[in-house]
Amino acid sequence: MLKLGIDDAGRGPVIGPMVLAGCLFDDKFERYLRNLGVKDSKELTQKRREFLEEKIKEKVEAFEIIIIEPNEIDKKNYEGVKLNEVEAIAVAEIINKINKKTEKIKIIVDCPSPTISKWCDFLKTRIKNLSNLEILCEHKADQNHVVVSAASILAKCTREKEMEKLKKIYGNEIGTGYPSDPLTCKFLEKNALTHKDTGIFRKTWSTWKDVCKKTEQKKLF
């Protein structure tokens, strides 16, 4: 049976895109990747991730990557579509693109929602054909399944490349894009309003809103 692992990178940042990746391969390739040391991308150095990314793309049956820009996340948020739903729609898109309906596929997804069954039910409403699919949604799937670990590596590497593009424009001061990064916080405090229309910020995030309020208050006083 073929397995399709799906994972995300960049759910929480206030700067930059969220990335979803899916990897399709069989048990033989799974053993090969396990022997290479494929595991959750967060447990690997950037150099090792990039090496494994190349190996995965070389021999995988198929892979799909979806990049969701901040403007799209904000737009959906304004429309009442929450991030978990945005992610489910992207996961379904990956499944629909890869599924050729010729073989049985076991799909394993690293579930972003605390309510797994509800999220999985929503996901299924977006999948075009379920007849040949077995779907497993679980927490920490990127740690428990090599096929999802491989997807996490592709997602993380793609996210890092997207951030490198932004750094070429805005400088290394942009940091990782995460609110927990001191560099990102400083960049945000300095540029939240200056670059508010460039599309790099998730403006529906409380992090961005709070910084803007503080900046406006400083201007008033």
Q: Tens digit of pLDDT for each residue in 84-125?
A: 999 999 999 999 999 987 789 999 999 999 999 999 999 999
Instruction: Name the DSSP letter for residue 221.
Output: -
In a domain, 29, yes or no: yes
Residue 221 lies in a domain: no
pLDDT attached to residue 93: 98
User: Would you say residue 28 has pLDDT above 90?
Assistant: no
| Half-sphere CA count of 171, side-chain side, radius 13 A | 8
Environment class of 11 (CB within 10 Å of its CB; exposed 0-12, middle 13-18, buried 19+): middle
Section 36-56 average pLDDT: 93
The two tokens of residue 131 are 């007849």
Tell whether 72 and 132 lie within a shared domain.
yes
pLDDT at 214 over 90: no
The mean pLDDT value for 129-149 works out to 96
Mean pLDDT of 165-171: 96
Looking at the structure, tell me whether residues 43 and 110 fall in a common domain.
yes
114-137 pLDDT, tens per residue? Answer: 999 999 999 999 999 999 999 999
Write down the pLDDT at residue 86: 98
Alpha helices in the chain (DSSP H): 27-36, 46-59, 70-78, 83-98, 116-125, 141-144, 146-170, 182-191, 206-220
CATH number of the domain encompassing residue 63: 3.30.420.10
81 confidence band (pLDDT: 50, 70, 90): very high
Mean pLDDT of 155-176: 97
Query: What pLDDT, on a 0 to 100 scale, did the predictor assign at position 216?
Result: 65
| CA distances in angstroms from 40 to 88, 121, 155, listed in the order given | 20, 25, 11
200 lies in the same domain as 160: no
What is the C-alpha separation between 151 and 108, in angstroms, rounded?
10
Residues 79 and 137 in one domain: yes
pLDDT score of 219 more than 60: no
Domain hosting 173: range is: 169-216
Residues 130 and 21 in one domain: yes
Mean of the per-residue pLDDT values of the chain? 93
What pTM was estimated for this model as a whole? 0.94
Q: pLDDT value at position 91?
A: 98
